[in-house]
A and B are shown apart, each in its own frame.
Chain A
Amino acid sequence: MSWEEFWMVLVICGACMLACRTLPLLFLKGRELPPALSRALGFIPPAAFAALVANDLLSPGMFAAGIWPAAVPLVAALVVVLVAAKTRSLLWSAVAGVAAYALLLAI
């Protein structure tokens, strides 16, 4: 990638990213939030985490080449669910997830 191409990517992607990150908060800040809006904001965490998890774990046709090893991420995810429910710790969840994933791929 040349420097010209690099600058194009950095400036445009960077500007879009900064706008997406800051404009909604700056717009809402200092205004009285209507109850319906603050309720909607409260639904963002479960919806966003569910979307991120689904994006990582699910894709159409994932089992086209057979159940195994395609199911490895799903089984590892189950291990993480158990560890997360028990410990509520991000660190332990990440360690357990990576270990389970690596072990399942090895067998």
Chain B
Amino acid sequence: MSDRTDRPAEAPEPPLAGASPTDSVLGRLKTPVSSRGRRKTTGESVDGPPVRVGGVVTADSGISDGEDGGASDVGGHGTGDVAPQRAHGVEDLDRRRERRAEFIVAFWFLLSAVSTFAFVVTDLIGNTHKQYYTPLLGVFLALALGGLGIGMIQWAKRLMGDEEAVQEREPHFSPSDEVEATERVFAKGFATSGIGRRPIIRRTLLLAGGALGLIGVVPILNLGPMSGRKPKSFGETSWRKTRPTTDASGKTIQGVRMIDQTGRAIKLGDIAAGGLLTVFPAIPDPEKPGKYLEPSLAVKGDSTVLLIRLRPGELKGRNKANTYFDHIAFSKICTHAGCPVSLYEQQTHHLLCPCHQSSFDVTEHGRPISGPAARPLPQLAITVDSEGYFIAKGDFSQPVGPTYWERG
């Protein structure tokens, strides 16, 4: 790149209306470009002066102090100091059109002010429960902000002229003597500190710094409720309580019964053929006899079960294992990403997950038949207790929900 030279433009006549040859835009542009090669600078010229294209070019562009774009901007807009040969933005030449432009800008600003006022009034006296409230606030706020924005842009476009300024770029890198000088300072500093010569300091410093990093691990580990200890019950669910328990009235319960979302225990016969129900483990309420605890979100998170009753004859052979009288129970938690799998198509006995569309065949032990799920839905072995209530024979034979590393 360093061998690249900047050739001046061929300076063909630009098709700008009214531009006289001597005031050629390109002719002007050429000057700063060709006079300032990008390698020329050694740190003193950092910002070329903007040159007004088509405007009255000031002598300042030539006598700039070379440090900044200082004095080139003599004569701003609005002082009548506008180039007559400008192709665009002729608005400011025409008094009447300028007045019109002022009105347009003022209209938008006025609209903004009125809308702001309307917004505040609507906010304060409007009824939040009415359907007009939010849309009206939105319209007024949009007009208040948008009006201001449109006004500002109209102002810029119609009344600030259309000057095109040119500014030179600074080189993207420092001159080589600067670079070398800085590197020498670094080298000297390092030499003074003696970090290269004193390995014992260097090594212990590294050790201390590394050890300090460990402090960052502490808050991360402390995030968990067990201070970083491995969760023990991962993969276990609330169906695991299978040993005989007694409820509040002292009656023995053989297994975990199933309750629906209203807290009612499900009996054989409650579910119609071709139907299903979302059920949860029934944990007896220690305070209210005959009642069950409302399942917590944690229980629902891994122990939600779909109890499905197929039509007679749909379950055959080995697929009948762990079912009871056409009833079959599966974990509702998808083995793919954990969504509740609950789109049950009763004609095909497929369960579809609405998140990623894995589907499972209920009559074949919950085998995945399409979509990204790779594991069958865990089946819950069920039976009916002496009072006719459905109970789980034990926990799922495998962990519910999505696959994780230690699952094996």
- A, B in one complex: no
| A-binding residues in B (CB < 8 A) | none
| B-binding residues in A (CB < 8 A) | none
